[in-house]
Chain A
Amino acid sequence: MSTTTTSTKSARTSTKWDVEYQTIRRQKLFSNTPRDHTAFPLLHAAVKPHVDSFNALFDQGLIDEALKDIGTHSVTDGDARERNARTPRNTLDLRVKEVLLDKSYLPSTNKDSLAREIFPAECRERGVTYRGKLRARLQYRVNANDWKEVVREIGSLPIMLRSNRCHLEALPPADMVRRKEESEELGGYFIVNGNEKLIRMLITPKRNYPMATLRPSFEKRGATYSKFGIIIRSVRPDQSSVTNTLHYITDGNVSFRFSWRKSEYLLPVVMLLKALVETNDHEIAQGIIGASNSSHPPSSFVSDRVELLLRTYKAYGLKTKKQTLEYLGAKFRPVLLTPVTLSDEETGAELLRRVILPHLGNINVSAAQNNDKFQLILFSIRKLYALAAGDCAPDNPDAVSNQEVLLGPFLYGMILKESIHNWLLSIGYQAREWIRTRSPPSFTDTKFEGEFLPKIVRKTNENIAQRLEYFLSTGNLVSETGLDQSQTSGYTVMAEKINFYRFISHFRCIHRGSFFAQLKTTTVRKLLPESWGFLCPVHTPDGSPCGLLNHLSHQCVVQTHNVDASGVEAALSRLGMTKRSARSVEDGLSIQLDGRVLGHMSVKRAREAAQLLRHWKVRDEKRIPKELEIGFVPTSNGGLYPGLYMFSGPARMIRPVKYIPADKVDFVGPFEQQYMTIACTETDIIPNLTTHIEYKPTNILSILANMTPFSDFNQSPRNMYQCQMSKQAMGTPSSNMMMRADNKAYLLQTGQTPVVRPPLYNEYGLDNFPNGMNAVVAVISYTGYDMDDAMIINKSSHERGFGDGVIYKTKFYDLAEKTGTGGRASRSKTEIKSMFGFADTDTNVPSDVLFHIEEDGLPKIGARVQEGSIIAAYHTVMFDPSTNSLRNLDGQTHYLKYKDSEPGYIDQIRLLGSETGDTPLQCISIKYRIPRRPIIGDKFSSRHGQKGVCSMLWPSESMPFSESGIQPDVIINPHAFPSRMTIGMFIESLAGKAGALHGLAQDSTPFSFDETHTAGDFFGDQLLQAGYNFYGNEPMYSGITGREFAADIYLGVVYYQRLRHMVSDKFQVRTTGPVNAVTGQPIKGRSKGGGVRVGEMERDSLIAHGCAYLLQDRLMDCSDKQRAWVCRDCGSFLSVQMVPNPYNALTGRRTVSVAGAGGSVPPSGIVRCRTCAREAGWEDSKLRVWADGEGKEFVGGENTTVVNVPGVLRYLDVELAAMGVRTTFTVD
């Protein structure tokens, strides 16, 4: 025994998987969870972009870069209105030197716990946030003395699971189970208030690449603006970005646009060029037109415009760099809010540093970096003129080639950066507020040092991390700068665990941005060939988010770290790259690396250079990284602007393909892919042209799309439906269900591994999360209950557990919330207002309560509850200082009730303590189990977009049977196939049948069969060998008559999913019930017991059918029918009144004043119209006279009657009367 355990321990857990069932191996993985590493690395690779980008915040120093970019915030004392920089002032410099994030630990006030860590599972159970303490090293100095330093706690920051700040980071599966996690816990999400939240990946424009753009909205910016522009999204090393735009003005001028704190500013581009470097007009002209030594004549289009560009700039009269910077600084000083002590020139430089192409230098910008910016702007102008002249095509912003991914954690870091920046600003503000009270108001005040922390810093809002928690829980971006994003909400989603497919898809999903959802054009939703291999063509929802919500192909990787691409420039220099540009693009192709102009080369040389670079890159030579993207855009006739563009930065999508010459893996990006020849299969290879080949054709599909068996046989929309439906199946969300407290969780009790599946199924470890069951399916029209996608389930299969499932609901009951002592934080004993349990002196506890509830006031585990059942008892308490205890005074026990209409069972009860571990019981969570056997009306589907509703549980003895005595579990109607063309389902049926007969797992990878080697033949032969019909159909006998059917029936094994849409959650029925208070009509909403609207079209069809009584019943009798008195003469509802009974009901005598106490009038049953009546005179008979409530006597108005009218009609009448509109009703 011991030898076997040691041998398994020493052996590394294998990560190789094939298509087989691997029953024993999986059993061993379960019973002996690996201690070294996971058996499913592919699964973990799927969430890598999320985890790695979070790690990069601290590992790769993104936060440090952000702090450097924020720099030092300086405030000065003295009069703020005094603008003279010469006045002597004291300066307070503030900066944050470092930000530290701790793992999640108990607060030091908790002295009882040995284990100090807070693990994610506890946060899920207790419904709190998984977060760690965030600290900032704040430094300050006055008048450039030595920096003084203080470490401040700035709140608790939510931590991503399995990141480098999570306790679970490197735990092997065995420890993961120990920490109450799933053995294959993936991480990549946050836990906020007990909910699993993740930040969506978003599509953003490609960074550091001048994009030629045609946008008609540019013309609306001003009188002479054209639709042409160059947009550069420049990304700083901390991953925050700035968008710079060059506008082409119709007269040939170019203006530069940027935005700062959500306001937009425009600059003449020449001013910018002159501010960046010490230059002259000649140099600028040469940079745009090309060096004058080349033989090519200059293009008159460009040279004319360059002349204009330079000529119009003369108006400013700024010649040197210093003059220009001073001019800029003076103009932008109020915008940048720089201190008065900073000179105009420095302010101008600060502007250039912050917003002008900061990817080329944003900290201590050197002259070389400014020259880089200068060169890139020159290139952009040249490209803009080419675009305006029609020499080049605009870059398509909707193509993946011009896009990259905004990784959630990068955004998270940006928000943190901005919050820290704002904090510094607020400290500066508070410092100025403080010196206002001093005389003289100066930072050199002796008390300043002592009061800086308690009086200044403490007055600011130091809970910076709370902003990030808010961001995660709501998905709203609250930002002064907007962070260069186009949307303000919808950044986070709940990582729903309806089943595992749904869960894993969240991490692979990429959204285009909610801005594009409102767009009426469909261009942004189109499936473009550029997406090949990066975004799955199948896995996108139908309906409104179609094409906007995409999923990454399963082999697509998002790069999250910077790679060392320093070898590129050196290698290119040796290949003949020059710094000088040429007049024709052919002679001087621009060569750029991450948006920096390295130099120029002729097209011919550049093509060879690109090939060489790729060769080196694949072979890992010359310090050229594998992740480098080498996009060689050749010269063309009006195509994309040519150049050699290389990218090495993070947030790019890349994917592995095979480089044929070296037989090695090459990572290909979407930009270079458009100019590459990548064969899909061996047969596609064209000699001397094809350089790459796909490892597998199925690499273009997402994880879910890969799971559809034989998807290449189906009509394509069916595969899309399947991707949607597999995410709605009741399955196995996780294997640690008892450790989770989801609000609602679906569980399939009898999940199975599919007989027909691709090998990827095992590689992703999906057998840990079965999502359906294999069913024997007969395609036959048999019972008459199979109209329109209805399906019949064999009653005996149902009794054996086919599709059996449960719903778990967890509800939190917090006494502190009820009594309003505030949130869940700090509940000292004296503040407690109520407690669980029975009141000590309560003498009136009902007997049925005692049966359900135990002495602690909580129910028994396993108790059945239904609507109105009592589930917990509590009582109010007061703190009694004399005995130091909590005492109940009123002797009353209150009860909490189960409110759902559906009966359930109590599965678990958790007693939730607080983080500090010092409070009595105030909060519990109860997990209910609601059994959901399939019933008529529940939804099922196969894996081919063939959904259906169970219409009958057909008795087993009446089911048809085959010659070998097999009965189907499920019967579906043959009409489901002709129009939908889901041939894949036939193949699956065939393969499943053969697999079940031979005990095989069938490989269902798409694109593995062809015309010569057909799936039908392959599986048909297997069936033949098992003694069955080659074509999969077989003679069957009626279960009712016992006679053979005239036709052979197609019978096979298909994997069926049970979808979470169940009638029990949907049925809605009502005759009478709650009504709207104003109209008297039924309210809507299933949860409120409302009705289903009989709308206009329903009404029309009832009229057309002549169903008058039905219509009457729906629209009157079951709605707002009222009996109302109306006057037949004047046709008014409002003038009739009930004549008060003149006789006292008690005495039987006629009373003088009719109105009783409180003005109430006893009705007499006689109704008269007041307007049709006249006042009674002496001559009128007493029999005809009637009196109103005031005793006034009238005669006439007798012609009143009762009619049935809709209540809203009278309401309308009253409303119209209030506006002076009279209505008249004719009563027949």
Chain B
Amino acid sequence: MSQREAYQFPSSSGGAGTGYAGYDTATGPKVTYICGECSAKVPLEKEDKVRCPSCGHRVLYKERTKR
């Protein structure tokens, strides 16, 4: 554990060596999308079904990044 908390040099390759950095591999990444019908924000995990939980629409849009 202590090793893990030690300072790591920032490198452009992110968390090379630990797989995709910063994510709990058990649940997978969580990214939010926008429903094509009701514009609700849809958080979608890796194995989730592609559908809006509130209206059931089947087309989701990727959100524009704010950066």
> Chain A residues in contact with chain B, CB under 8 A?
110, 112-115, 122, 125-126, 180, 829, 835, 837-847, 850-851, 854-856, 858, 860-862, 885-886, 908-915, 917-921
Q: Tell me the B1-59 residues at the A interface (CB within 8 Å).
A: 11-14, 16-20, 23, 25, 28-29, 31, 33, 36-37, 44, 46-51, 55-59
> Inside 8 A of B57's CB, which chain A residues have their CB?
113, 115, 122
A842 nearest CB neighbor, chain B only = B19
Q: Is the pair B16, A912 in contact by a Cβ cutoff of 8 Å?
A: no
| B49 surroundings in chain A (CB, below 8 A) | 913, 917-920
B56 touches A862 (CB 8 A): no
A110, A829, A847, A921 interface centre (most CB from chain B within 10 Å)? A921
For B18, give the chain A residue with the smallest CB separation: A843
Given that A840-B20, A855-B29 are contacting pairs, would A845 and B58 also be in contact in the complex, using a CB cutoff of 8 Å?
A: no
Residues from chain B with Cβ under 8 Å of A840 in the complex: 19-20, 25, 28
What would 26 A/B residue contacts be, using CB atoms closer than 8 Å?
A110-B56, A112-B56, A122-B59, A837-B28, A838-B20, A841-B19, A841-B25, A847-B13, A847-B14, A854-B65, A855-B23, A855-B31, A856-B44, A861-B63, A861-B64, A911-B33, A911-B59, A911-B60, A912-B59, A913-B51, A915-B58, A917-B49, A917-B51, A919-B49, A919-B50, A920-B49
A862 touches B12 (CB 8 A): no
Residue from A122, A842, A909 within 8 A of B58 (CB atoms): A122
In-complex Cβ contact of A910 among B14, B37, B47, B59 (8 A): B59
Asked whether A856 lies within 8 Å of B31 as measured between CB atoms, the reply is yes
Task: Report yes or no: B56 in contact with A920, Cβ–Cβ below 8 A.
Answer: no
Known contacts A858-B62, A908-B61: does B20 contact A125 (CB below 8 Å)?
no
A919 / chain B contacts, CB cutoff of 8 Å: 49-50
The reply to whether B19 and A843 contact each other, CB–CB distance below 8 Å, is: yes
What residues of chain B have their CB less than 8 Å away from a CB belonging to chain A? 11-14, 16-20, 23, 25, 28-29, 31, 33, 36-37, 44, 46-51, 55-65
Are A850 and B25 in contact (CB-based, < 8 A)? no
**Hey, which chain B residues are within 8 Å of A855, CB to CB?**
20, 23, 29, 31
What residues on B are CB-neighbors of A920 within 8 Å?
46-50
Question: CB-CB < 8 A to B63: which residues of A?
Answer: 861
What separation, in Å, do the CA atoms of A397 and B62 have in the docked complex?
A: 57
In the complex, which residues of chain A have a beta carbon less than 8 angstroms from the beta carbon of B14?
845, 847, 850
Nearest CB on B from A885, distance (A) = 6
A847 contact set on B, CB distance < 8 A: 11-14, 16
Least CB separation from B50: chain A residue: A913
Question: Contact between B65 and A838 (Cβ–Cβ < 8 Å)?
Answer: no
Contact A856 B19 (CB under 8 A): no
Closest residue of chain B to A119 (Cβ to Cβ) is B37
- Give the CA-CA distance A843 to B57 in the complex, in Å: 36
Which secondary structure characterizes the binding site on chain B?
A: loop
Please report the C-alpha to C-alpha distance between residue A49 and residue B14 in the assembled complex, in whole angstroms. Answer: 61
Residue pair A850, B62 in contact (C-beta under 8 Å)? no
Instruction: Check if A113 sits within 8 Å of B56, measured CB to CB.
Output: yes
User: What chain B residues lie within 8 Å of A837 (beta carbons)?
Assistant: 28-29, 46
Shortest B4–chain A CB gap in Å is 16
Contact B20 A914 (CB under 8 A): no
With A835-B46, A885-B47, A886-B47 in contact, is A126–B62 under 8 Å at CB?
no
Q: Which residues of A are found within 8 Å of B36, using beta-carbon distances?
A: 122, 125, 180, 910
Q: Known interface pairs A861-B64, A914-B50, A918-B49. Does A115 touch B19 (Cβ–Cβ under 8 Å)?
A: no
- Shortest Cβ distance from B41 into chain A, in angstroms? 13
What 20 additional pairs, Cβ within 8 angstroms, besides A861-B62, A920-B49? Answer: A113-B56, A115-B37, A115-B56, A115-B57, A122-B36, A840-B19, A840-B28, A843-B17, A843-B18, A845-B13, A850-B14, A851-B12, A855-B31, A860-B65, A910-B60, A912-B58, A913-B59, A913-B60, A914-B50, A921-B48
Q: Are A844 and B16 in contact (CB under 8 A)?
A: yes
| Residues of chain B within 8 A of A113, CB atoms compared | 51, 55-58
Q: Tell me which residues across on chain A come within 8 A of B28, comparing CB atoms.
A: 837, 840
Q: A1118 → chain B, closest Cβ, in Å?
A: 43
A917 to B44, CA, bound (A): 14
By beta carbon, the residue of chain B nearest A112 is: B56
Measured CB to CB, the closest approach of chain A to B66, in angstroms, equals 11
Chain B contacts for A845, CB-based, 8 A: 13-14, 16, 20
When chains A and B are docked, how far (Å) is the Cα of A838 from the Cα of B31?
Answer: 14
The distance in angstroms between the C-alpha atoms of A114 and B12, with both chains bound, is 45
Enumerate the 3 nearest inter-chain pairs by beta-carbon distance, A residue then B residue, closest first: A113-B56, A913-B50, A913-B58
Q: Are A921 and B50 in contact (CB under 8 A)?
A: yes
Partner of B19, one of A829, A835, A838, A910: A838
Contact of A862 among B23, B37, B65 (CB under 8 A): B65
By a CB distance below 8 angstroms, the chain A residues around B48 are 920-921
A843 to B58: give the CA distance in the assembly, Å: 33
**Bound Cα distance A847, B13 (Å):** 4
Q: List the B side residues contacting A912 at CB < 8 Å.
A: 50, 58-59
Q: Which of B12, B29, B37, B51 is A856 in contact with, Cβ under 8 Å?
A: B29
The residues of A that contact B18 with a CB separation of less than 8 Å are: 843
- Alpha-carbon distance A125/B13, docked complex (angstroms): 35
Q: Identify the closest chain A residue to B47 (Cβ).
A: A920
* Inter-chain contact B55/A114, CB cutoff 8 Å: yes
- Residue from A125, A180, A841, A854 within 8 A of B31 (CB atoms): A854
Nearest CB in chain A to that of B54: its residue: A114
Contacts of B19 in A (CB 8 A): 838-843
Residues of A within 8 A of B23 (CB): 855
For the complex formed, measure the closest distance between the CB of B19 and the CB atoms of chain A, giving whole angstroms: 5
Q: Tell me the minimal C-beta distance from A431 to chain B in angstroms.
A: 41
- Distance A920 CA – B44 CA, assembled complex (angstroms): 10
Measured between beta carbons, the chain B residues less than 8 angstroms from A885 are: 47
Task: Give the one of A846, A854, A910, A913 with max B CB within 10 A.
Answer: A913
Docked pose: A841 CA to B58 CA in angstroms: 30
